[in-house]
Amino acid sequence: MLSGMALIPNNRMVVCDGHNNTVKIVDLTSSCLVTTTRLSSRPWDVCAFSGETVAVTLPNKCRIQMIKTNPNIELTRTIQTTGSCRGISFWQNTFIVTIGYDDRRGVAILDIDGQVLKAIFNDLKGRPLFKRPHYVSVGGLKPTLYVSDRKLNTLTKLDLSLRVLQTLTLGAIEHPYAMFQHDDKHLLVCSAGRDNVVMLNTETEQVRDLLGPDATIHEPICACYSHELGKLYMTCWGQDEESGSCNAVIVFDVKLI
């Protein structure tokens, strides 16, 4: 299962391969695998930061692995976290992660050394906000966070102080997984329960289908879009042994405005 992707300079992409405990770099212009390296545990998600360095979450180790990607993959330092991190984004020298402690699930902002600056698990009445928060995305003119919860079928919108602004339950999105910030007001969302990828207008809450459902797409888990190449890249959770879609990055020619 390929559960995380991030674009890096020179039309390359980093991919997390959870089944094989590896991180891979793909050249998007040639669609060729450039290099791969094995990690100490199953990677889940990846984000780019600090030039060509990326950060990869290792939830089973409660660790974030820093990796240099140029010219080859080089494992550098690790950050030990107090909880199990899955989704990860980088914003203004902080990591924003989905995190779990025993039976608590939430979102935390970490400094570059892994210290928790802020975290949220419950609403103002002390009720749990999340059940399965696996991915987080940050962006926009007024930067906000979106957290997908596949168990609750929700997208939770928060500000950078981790105050909940809105909880969206949209009929067009079922079992949401990874998200990709397309521009200041549009978010790509993988809707695994509907076998499609949608575009969410974060201002109007309107949703339109981009891809699927069709025979090629089965439980999409993550997606990203290259503006330069005009291509959308997607991976699927579904175990389709015949097509091999669960172990492949599927490429679509899509012009997004």
pLDDT at 257: 66
pLDDT in tens, the chain (257 residues): 899 999 999 999 999 999 999 999 999 999 999 999 999 999 999 999 877 899 999 999 999 999 999 877 899 999 999 899 999 999 999 999 999 988 899 999 999 999 999 999 998 899 999 999 999 999 887 889 999 999 999 999 999 999 999 999 988 899 999 999 988 889 999 999 999 999 999 888 899 988 878 777 889 999 999 999 999 999 998 655 444 445 789 999 988 76
pLDDT at 243: 47
pLDDT at 80: 94
In CATH, which of 1.10.1060.10, 3.30.470.20, 2.120.10.30, 1.10.1670.40 is domain 2-181? Answer: 2.120.10.30
pLDDT at 217: 86
Q: Is the backbone of residue 212 left (phi > 0), alpha (psi -120 to 50) or beta? A: left
Q: What is the pTM of this model?
A: 0.93
Peptide bond connecting 128 to the previous residue in cis, omega within 30 degrees of 0: no
Instruction: Please list the residue range(s) of the chain that carry CATH number 2.120.10.30.
Output: 2-181
pLDDT at 185: 87
Residues near 201 by beta carbon (within 8 Å), at least 6 away in sequence? 185, 186, 207
Per the CB < 8 A criterion, the answer to whether 190 and 199 are in contact is no
- Read off the amino acid at residue 138: V
